[in-house]
Amino acid sequence: MRNVCTCETCQTPFVSQKHSTICFDCALKHFAGNTDPEEGDFNSALLLSGKMTDNEARWLQEDLKSVEQVQDDFAEEEIDMDICEICGGDSLWCHCEDQD
């Protein structure tokens, strides 16, 4: 799912995977304030602006190295299946995440 949204803060159009009202740049400023953005701020801004889906955000927090692959996978179509990053299978069926 891709939507062209307009940021209510800076009036700039941007592409979002949700119906967002704030672009990544403005969201990042919102979360980071006047300090240097931290990793959590980037994640929150990506999520709020719709640059990332909820699943992508979760994966980013779990494994930063997988981000590029995830973005490639989500570039063309919305996939509503959870892929387990531990075994690579459908996480509905595996039990990897049950083992903390």
Q: Using CB under 5 A as the criterion, which residues of the chain lie in contact with Zn ion when the complex forms?
A: 7, 9-10, 23, 26
* Closer residue to Zn ion, CB minimum distance, 50 or 70: 50
**DSSP assigned state of 96:** G
Helices vs. strands in the chain: H and E counts, helices first:
4, 2
Burial, 47: exposed, middle or buried (Cβ in 10 Å; 0-12, 13-18, 19+)?
buried
Length of the chain equals: 100
CB of 92 to Zn ion, least distance (A): 36
65 contacts 54 by C-beta, under 8 angstroms: no
Measured from the CB atom, the residue of 18 and 58 that comes closer to Zn ion is 18
- Least distance to Zn ion, CB of residue 83, Å: 31
Shortest gap between Cβ of 99 and Zn ion (angstroms)? 41
Looking at the Cβ atoms of 49 and 55, the one nearer to Zn ion is 49
> Over the Cα atoms of the chain, what is R_g?
15
- Residue 29 CB, nearest distance to Zn ion (Å)? 8
